[in-house]
Structure 1
Amino acid sequence: MHAMQYRITLPANYDMGIIRARVADRGHLLDAYPGLGLKAYLVRERGVAGSPVNEYAPFYLWRSAEGMNSFLWGPGFQGIVTDFGRPAVRHWLGAAFRPGPAQDTAPTSATRHTERLPEGVDPAEAVERAIAALPSGGELHSAALAVDPSRWELLRLALWHGPAPDGADGDRYQVLHLSRPELPGLPPGRHW
């Protein structure tokens, strides 16, 4: 599993209805994309749920590097480049995936949390602790843990049916659409 995200920060007075219309018109185009576990079309709006910015931030879990490469070097990503310029694309190695009890429903919110591992922290132990701390139960659609070993950064994404629970930490997003062509193929548990 590979995690990938690009975050496009938009002007404070940007009409987020443009992004909503974009997703409504184009979101379904990846609903059957080969190699894609899921794509969550995420947005944050300035002043909503504590967000300081307007942001469009699609998040992907890829089952295969070939699928990810096909998207990045093909027409799918070109639409973003044409409309917004070329954003930095972050990439993490998938460490774990946890389906939740609400996996068969459409998620409506997401939380995204990153954590840098300080010098001297055993990365293997930190990853095991982070896997154990992945959310479960309730209205959880799914959760993933990924690692960027170039920065020693952990990333946790959780998708929720309904609002994220009060105790869920990280940036809060609204999910406008979820493409999930190969979601059943993302193996649960740790990925090694």
Structure 2
Amino acid sequence: MGIIDRRIAERGHSTDGFAGLAFKAYLHARKEGVPSSPDNLYAPFYLWHTTEGLNEFLCGPGFVGLTQSFGWPSVHTWSVWHAQMSKEMTRAKYATRETVPIMPHADLASLRRAEIERSRELLSSPDVLATVAGFESTNWSLVRFRLWSKMPERPLDGQVHIYGVGHVSTG
């Protein structure tokens, strides 16, 4: 994890101002530490304004360097229903990501409306700096992502992953 920490410190700024990028949050969690995790994790989270920006990144030298150093990653993509960011989001210290299954034949329009409302309500909290709600239709799952200025309370259900934030880049 020391390698990851150094890489974020030395290269995190390289995605600042990247065309088409809304933000990239450099996320990490540790077996021992805060936030704690069953495994050591580096889990960057990107929100793109355009698929063109995503494609430029994945086909570019930064991604090549990452894959040569750490291997070929699995890149998960979601269709974004709602994203809202405060001007202060680069101050984020923590992030949460929750993935929830969507049941077959669910009323997606109602689910989308509810998630947008939930997302908007959460951003009214002074501790929430960004919120994203989206879904993935290959295995039908909902994702809720948040950036926080301080450690959020851990829910009891265990479905929410909490990460530390090493850096936040904006496009």
Is the shorter-chain TM-score for this pair beyond 0.5, marking a shared fold?
Answer: yes
Q: Is the 8 A contact 1:36 1:61 kept in 2?
A: yes
Question: How many Å separate the matches in 2 of 1:92 and 1:104?
Answer: 21
Q: Residues 125 and 85 of structure 1: is their aligned pair in 2 closer, same or farther, counting only changes over 3 Å?
A: same
Q: Which residue of 2 aligns with 1:172?
A: 162
Count matched residues. Answer: 165
Whichever structure has more helix as a proportion of its residues is: 2
Cα-to-partner distance string for 1:55-79 (whole Å, 9 max, x where unaligned): 1000000011111000001112111
Partner of 1:68: 54
What is the alpha-carbon root mean square deviation over aligned residues?
Answer: 1.8
Give the 3 Å change call, closer, same or farther, for CA 50–19 of structure 1 in structure 2: closer
Gaps of 5+ in 2: none
* Superposed displacement of residue 138, structure 1: 2.1
How far off its partner does 1:165 sit?
A: 3.6
Would the aligned equivalents of 2:29 and 2:40 in 1 still touch at CA under 8 Å? yes
**Runs of 4+ with deviation above 3 angstroms:** 47-50, 165-169
Q: Unaligned 5+ residue runs, structure 1?
A: 1-15, 182-192
- What is the Cα deviation at residue 115 of structure 1? 0.7
2:98 aligns with 113
Mapped to 2, the partners of 1:155 and 1:104 lie a distance apart of 19
Instruction: Identify the residue that residue 28 of structure 1 maps to in structure 2.
Output: 13
Contact 1:103 1:140 (8 Å CA) reproduced:
no
CA contact (8 A) 1:105 1:161 kept: no
TM-score scaled by length of structure 2:
0.89
Contact kept? 2:154, 2:160, Cα under 8 Å: no
TM-score using structure 1 length: 0.80
Task: Point out the more displaced range, 131-140 or 106-115.
Answer: 131-140
| 3-state DSSP of counterpart to 1:156 | strand
In 1: Cα distance, 2:94 partner to 2:16 partner: 19
Following the alignment from structure 1 to structure 2, what is the Cα–Cα distance between the partners of residues 98 and 165?
A: 21
